[in-house]
Copies of this chain bind each other. A is one copy, B any other.
């Protein structure tokens, strides 16, 4: 008997019909002899509806009140799933974040989980109940309702798995697992059976939207096995776990891409200590996240400084940068929001030289110009013109032999 935490996102619980399908998955897992904790999101579209109501109520809705409002979304789905389970003669008990004491800090709208009181859940599981928990929400020490921000339900699921010392945390989504590349771009893309936390983190930060970075980091920290799988069709999904020898054999695990970024460059800025901070501080103060940063070696005491931000922040960042350029005496500011980032990810590259060269040559052979390069221990990212996205991803997918190496093993989920 294992203890399995199962997380179902908004599309998986988007209607009562879908919730009944989720109940079938839960029951199937129970029939296999496992204990089940289900963690749910709000119905797809519900959070948007509530945010719109808040927008009608106030121009800038108070963040504490917004959490009170948004937390109703998951409360609806946990009640409905529990009703369905009870009707099917499975004892179920639902808990809001507050009821099961998911203690967070008091940063409304993007709170962090501090502690979970698991006793009550353990007792319910011992009494053969399915425990159904509202994701995305918690309470602070004063008992105020908090929410965890984007992807918060994944985080709740992983945190619950950690608190309960669960054997596996299964994240049900609308895709079959993690693929070697986006199947909509590369028809030969294969579902991976396994991937390491580190690789998943790099895939996620490179635009593979299957899982939120925060949940993967959390799982990695506590070494909770994560499995990504589909709530719409059966299959073993992809297990995200610690590196092992079998993984080492794969040089490159996958090709990720991100078309949500835009590039900004400050040309010929006087090259002196503190210049990077002077450029990026106004950006950070405006709550704009910076992804890649490249500073070229200076010529004539000036340097070019390039970085990427989310496309939604492009215009705001450009305006800020123009002001900074004047302050610092830079020659020019340029920007481009028609770029993409493509990354090759794999723990194997640690022990193999020449991956970067192989990547750059493959792209050059297709006439694709590389605008920026950034590397980590297990990832190489390049920024190229958006029009080359599909060609670039397909080229790299075949260059690193991903269509052949990863055979799908369909009984991996056991």
Residues in chain B near residue A19, CB distance under 8 A: 57
Picked from B20, B58, B83, the residue with its CB within 8 Å of the CB of A65 is B83
Majority secondary structure, A binding face:
helix
Query: How would residues 142 to 176 of chain A score, 1 for a CB under 8 Å from any chain B CB and 0 otherwise?
Result: 01110000000000000000000000000000000
A68 CB contact (under 8 Å) in B58, B61, B82: B82
Residues of B within 8 A of A87 (CB): 57-62
Query: Shortest Cβ distance from A210 into chain B, in angstroms?
Result: 29
Given A19-B57, A53-B16, A56-B16: A83 in contact with B66 (beta carbons within 8 A) = yes
Do B57 and A80 touch (CB < 8 A)?
yes
Whether A86 sits at the interface, judged by CB under 8 Å, is yes
Contact A75 to B69, CB < 8 A, known contacts A19-B57, A143-B99? yes
Which parts of A91-137 form the interface with B (CB within 8 Å)? 92-94, 96, 98-99
Q: Which residue of B lies closest to A80 (CB)?
A: B57
Complex alpha-carbon distance, A345 and B323, angstroms: 78
Q: In the bound complex, what is the Cα–Cα distance between A76 and B61 (angstroms)?
A: 13
Tell me the A209-238 residues at the B interface (CB within 8 Å): none
User: Hey, which chain B residues are within 8 Å of A58, CB to CB?
Assistant: 83-84, 86-87
Nearest residue in B to A100 (C-beta to C-beta)?
B143
Cα of A57 to Cα of B93 in the assembled complex, Å: 15
Q: Is A288 on the interface with B (CB-CB < 8 A)?
A: no
In the docked arrangement, what's the CA distance between A64 and B66, Å?
A: 26
Query: Does A76 lie within 8 Å of B99, measured CB to CB?
Result: no
- B69 and A54 within 8 A (CB): no
Given contacts A57-B16, A57-B84, contact A94 B65 (CB under 8 A): yes
Are B75 and A68 in touch, CB under 8 angstroms? yes
Q: How far is the CA of A53 from the CA of B81 in the complex (A)?
A: 11
Contact call A54/B68, Cβ cutoff below 8 A = no
Asked if A50 lies at the interface with its beta carbon under 8 angstroms from chain B, I say yes
Taking CB atoms and an 8 Å cut-off, the chain A residues in 34-75 that contact chain B are 50, 53-54, 56-62, 64-66, 68-69, 71-72, 75
Give Cα A69 to B65, complex, Å: 19
Query: Which residue in chain B gives the minimum CB-CB distance to A86?
Result: B62
Partner of A62, one of B16, B66, B83, B96: B83
Which residues on the B side are within 8 Å of A76 (C-beta)?
A: 50, 53, 69, 72
**A201 at interface (Cβ–Cβ under 8 A)?**
no
Q: Is the CB of B68 within 8 A of A78?
A: yes
Q: A68-B75, A78-B68 are in contact. Are A83 and B99 (CB under 8 A)?
A: no
> Which residues does chain B contribute within 8 Å of A84, judged by CB atoms?
57-58
A355 interface hit (Cβ, 8 Å): no
Q: Residues of A with Cβ closer than 8 Å to B?
A: 16, 19-20, 50, 53-54, 56-62, 64-66, 68-69, 71-72, 75-76, 78-84, 86-87, 92-94, 96, 98-99, 143-145
* A-B contacts, 16 listed (Cβ < 8 Å): A20-B57, A54-B83, A57-B84, A57-B87, A58-B84, A58-B86, A58-B87, A62-B83, A62-B86, A65-B80, A68-B79, A68-B94, A72-B72, A96-B145, A99-B144, A99-B145
Given contact pairs A68-B94, A69-B76, A69-B83, a sample of 16 additional A-B residue pairs in the complex whose CB atoms are under 8 Å apart: A16-B53, A16-B56, A16-B57, A54-B79, A58-B83, A58-B84, A59-B87, A61-B83, A61-B87, A62-B83, A65-B86, A65-B92, A66-B79, A68-B79, A72-B72, A99-B145
Closest 6 CB pairs of A and B: A69-B79, A72-B72, A58-B87, A68-B79, A16-B56, A58-B83
